[in-house]
A = this chain, B = another copy of it.
Amino acid sequence: MDKLDRNSLEAPIIFTAALVDGMGASVCIKHLKAGETLYVEGEDADYCYEIMSGAMKEYNTLEDGKRQVAEFYKAGDMFGFSESSDQLHTAEAITSCAVRCYPRDAFMKTVAASPALSASFLDTLMTRLHRARERMVMIGRMSAMQRVATFLLRLADDADNQHTTHLAMSRQDIADHLGLTIETVCRTLTELKKQQIIVMEAARVFSIADLPRLEAVAMGARGRLH
């Protein structure tokens, strides 16, 4: 497999406009503070959601308390369409958020009624499936160094503001996303700093100082700690 692609997963604009048009009054907006949950695994999946501002994460918790963060979502992303009538994940605000809520039945009906919306929706689902599989490869087959490098590359690419990139999520969130521990994430970042591949302006602000080398590391070159 050539390098993991880093295309954006943003819901097309058509999505929002057509949905709000079609569903009107039944759509509402919810505001969340950092740390609040939008829904919890197991509860009824009555709504689909679209992030208007802020960042969220969707995760599962195992019996022993370990977490796996399935996805991070940012403004423009849609989520919460569970295939069952229950939520299969927990969604939690990372920063304070504004979220548009679509009643699930009406949402599905509106999507089904419009070929364009259906196509967009399918695209989103398939892209997300693809991403999930990419991350399976990452978690199952890559070293800690490769995982962190790949993660930083994707973040920088998603944000594509010229220089610095902000990390909305904590080290713990990153660890839970990459299948690592928080300590390993820290050590790996430190190593990337030492090698002057990245610069950390603050704990949650970084910039890529040497893109080719970061990409090389992500591909497996010198891809270990120590």
Contacts and interface: CB of A to CB of B under 8 A. Distances in A.
A83 B133 contact: no
Interface string A57-69: 0001111101110
Nearest to A175: B140
Question: How many copies of this chain does one complex carry?
Answer: 2
Contacts of A30: none
Interface residues of A, number: 43
Of listed A82, A89, A123, A140, residue having the most chain B CB within 10 A: A140
Interface string A99-120: 0000000000000100100110
Given A68-B136, A125-B126, A128-B129, 15 more contacts: A1-B61, A60-B133, A62-B141, A63-B220, A64-B220, A67-B141, A68-B140, A82-B126, A83-B130, A118-B118, A129-B129, A129-B132, A136-B179, A139-B139, A139-B140
A219 interface: yes
A72 to B, nearest CB: 14
Contact of A133 (B1, B70, B178): B70
Nearest to A83: B126
A197 interface: no
A88 B132 CA distance: 13
Interface of A: 1-2, 41-42, 60-64, 66-68, 70, 81-83, 88-89, 112, 115, 118-119, 121-123, 125-130, 132-133, 135-137, 139-141, 178-179, 219-220
Nearest to A141: B66
A60 B122 contact: no
24 contacts: A1-B61, A1-B62, A1-B63, A60-B133, A62-B220, A64-B220, A66-B141, A67-B141, A68-B133, A68-B136, A70-B133, A70-B136, A82-B126, A83-B122, A88-B133, A112-B115, A118-B118, A122-B122, A122-B125, A125-B126, A132-B132, A132-B133, A136-B179, A139-B179
